[in-house]
Amino acid sequence: MFPQELEGAKILYYTADGDYGDIFNSRGEVVDCVRYMAIGQYPRDKKFYLFRCNKDYNVAVKWADKTLEESMARGAGARLDVQWIEA
């Protein structure tokens, strides 16, 4: 089951386990794989945050957007097959 929170943000939507890209270190080497994406909000914050996580739900990258739709579009990128699951 997907966590209800990531880094203190309440999760609103998440993806199923999949291959959503690579995680790189500062030298440009692949160190892990993005297995999940999630969108959440922090208390008293109107922004939506896109989290890209590894298989253990550790957040590798996070972005802030003004709308839910912007976060979903950022997560999908060029992929049309991203399915968001309501938390």
- What's residue 18's pLDDT? 94
Residue 78 has pLDDT above 80, yes or no: no
Mean of pLDDT values over 44-70: 97
Pairing of strands 9-14, 85-86: antiparallel
What is the distance between the alpha carbons of residues 68 and 56, in angstroms, rounded to a whole number?
A: 24
> Class for domain 5-86, per CATH?
alpha beta
What is the distance between the alpha carbons of residues 48 and 64, in angstroms, rounded to a whole number?
A: 6
Q: Does the predicted model carry a pTM greater than 0.85?
A: yes
pLDDT digits (tens, 9 = 90+) for 4-47: 999 999 999 999 999 999 999 999 999 999 999 999 999 999 99
What residue segments make up the domains of the chain, in order of their start? 5-86
Backbone phi, psi, residue 19, to 5°: -105, 105
